[in-house]
Structure 1
């Protein structure tokens, strides 16, 4: 069982036992194959993807369970991220969130943060929390956990023969539907040229694309100056995964898909760059922000503890217990480990209960780890055992 290390390390009560039972004993191999093919997107159906097909299927989005008696103790960087989380919760207005079969509030999220903070200062004091498991992509609790990072990208202030691909601020003009031009129109038809929106120029349109996917990045100019470019809005067009597109076209096997393999494919097929990049019409604009990468909650991101979520499923400001993939140097799954995560960001590709994005940090090492992550784990939304009275249904 993929939960075995959790039982050995934390000695939890039987809070997970209800859905760890096999689905059935007869024709089990056939059943697993059927589950694998029909319950998740086929682009994620690769060998050793970390998915637990033995968990019972359910209809509810959240499955309420007792908190285990042991939580994974984080390092000091988590405490800094938690302080930012508390500052965010103190800054926003009080409201309630209606989350399908459960509900919570800003006040509840504050209670969770306070319980975790008190536990960090006194580990013998068990947090008074309840774990609500997210249904995942397959209604069996399996959530795909991908990674993102902040790249460091060489740029120029002015274009030249090499550095000629602009990174843009958000324009003011849009069409009658409230949308801005598509990726193809912006990158290949110069739809934004002449509006003074250029922040910097890069040497590779593919670098721009991956910077859009990451949502922020550090740029380094020719004089050594560095600036952080943060999320500055999107063009309103739907997001389409390049990896999924290449899998469906038979260009890359689903087991081999990663940021690195997509980059390599684009490098080897320059004549098809426009065709493939344009299949994702979504386009991200940047703003020159603070010195440290920030997420949608407008707080600095903490490497290996911040996560991007769909706020309609997991409110920003929530704390999660997550079973995250452990990979070897080749990107192969070798197990899972449990971590506390901070819901501090969101992204165009993070929709529904089946996907979160785990922040890996800044630079090439973070890039390497983020590019390998595409496996399944499990996620629990932590809520107080004694919630506050509800006031207003807001979401």
Structure 2
């Protein structure tokens, strides 16, 4: 799954300058003009998407920069999330983590967490950290920042005429070809029926699909009982974005794509739901977990501070400085603000250095904000100025 900073218009105020990162040799590249839209996926090329097309282009995953003399001060909920982060880092084995043109370690991530924790206790004590900017989707530092949330879905213990679409636990055995079934096979050909894997039954395959995309959710049974369903594994099939599919088919304009517009299209075209849903063969299974939403790092997620990342690019347990999109009530980008984020989750759609998913919380308000986010920002991995001694080498 963060900022007290917001850039208004083109020029920051004097107070805001203390939060700005100063890219290396930026002055030498201010002449760069807008670059080709081929640098990003066409589905992300819409007006006012927040992308900085004049930024320095580079070939490496990370660009090392000096940390600014101030960081965006988080609210109190961040402290709880940070303590969960420290708990996670303390229980995993030390090892070296290779990140293309740099490397770090679990011990380094512990140092970063402690530096941030000490700074929160004594803000005049500047953390001894270095910022490493991600190359982004276009090698210019532009990272698409989408949002996710935990929905609350009405369910039944047993199926009836309305509530007849199961949410499944992960099968113990694969099929005769050594694979788990695809979405088409599970949802429309009953490939898992009769195996006792059903957790609950919903009234909509579309609700199920979006619950799969979110990775976890709260279900409410007919007797009022609520349970959290957490990530319980995937079927191993490649993830295919429904938004991208609908854009490429000309069904929804890329400027208007959002979770809400996709839901509306599926509602307006019930006879085509099987056709479209099955274009994403990836399928997520659930496990019944504790009351608080849990991320892939097995710690509770903190609204507006936890983020889902690709662990091959950003190790779980990292702390990020991110320039996230700031949107108005209509989902229009009005600027960016800096925020500290905790890398505590991962997702099937989060691959490479060009995308992170920002956790918005539980329920409908979080749903609204998550559905609007699709814009570009920038992300820096925070690492210590004084790394820990080399430890166990591991990929």
Counting only pairs closer than 5 Å after superposition, residues 9-158 of structure 1 correspond to structure 2 as 9-11=16-18, 15-16=22-23, 18-19=25-26, 22=29, 24=31, 28=33, 32=34, 35-158=35-158
Q: Give 1:173 shift.
A: 1.7
Structure 1 residue runs without a partner (length 5+): none
Using the size of structure 1 for normalisation, the TM-score is 0.95
In structure 1, the partner of 2:3 is none
Q: Contact 2:235–2:284 at 8 Å: present in 1 too?
A: yes
Deviates most, 276-285 or 5-14: 5-14
Q: Structure 1 residues 7 and 385, CA, compared in 2 at 3 Å: closer, same or farther?
A: farther
Q: Structure 1 residues 70 and 284, CA, compared in 2 at 3 Å: closer, same or farther?
A: same
In structure 2, the partner of 1:167 is 167
Q: Distance in 1 between matches of 2:95 and 2:18?
A: 36
In structure 2, the partner of 1:298 is 298
Deviations 1:232-283 (A, max 9, x none): 0000100000000000000000000000000000000001000000000000
In structure 1, the partner of 2:364 is 364
Q: Distance in 1 between matches of 2:224 and 2:20?
A: 55
Q: Secondary structure at the match of 2:25?
A: helix
Alignment of 1:334 with 2:334, yes or no, is yes
Q: Contact 1:10–1:71 at 8 Å: present in 2 too?
A: no
Q: Distance in 2 between matches of 1:313 and 1:176?
A: 34
Q: Distance in 1 between matches of 2:101 and 2:202?
A: 47
Q: Distance in 1 between matches of 2:274 and 2:58?
A: 42
Q: Distance in 2 between matches of 1:294 and 1:21?
A: 44
Q: Secondary structure at the match of 1:218?
A: strand
Q: Distance in 2 between matches of 1:164 and 1:5?
A: 54
Q: Structure 1 residues 319 and 175, CA, compared in 2 at 3 Å: closer, same or farther?
A: same
Structure 2 residue runs without a partner (length 5+): 1-6
Q: Distance in 1 between matches of 2:281 and 2:41?
A: 21
In structure 2, the partner of 1:343 is 343
Q: Secondary structure at the match of 1:64?
A: strand
Q: Distance in 1 between matches of 2:19 and 2:157?
A: 56
Using the size of structure 2 for normalisation, the TM-score is 0.95
Q: Structure 1 residues 7 and 282, CA, compared in 2 at 3 Å: closer, same or farther?
A: farther
Q: Structure 1 residues 21 and 175, CA, compared in 2 at 3 Å: closer, same or farther?
A: farther
Q: What is the RMSD of the two structures over their aligned residues, measured on CA atoms?
A: 1.5
Q: Structure 1 residues 13 and 45, CA, compared in 2 at 3 Å: closer, same or farther?
A: closer
In structure 1, the partner of 2:388 is 388
The number of residues matched between the two structures is 388
Q: Distance in 1 between matches of 2:167 and 2:21?
A: 52
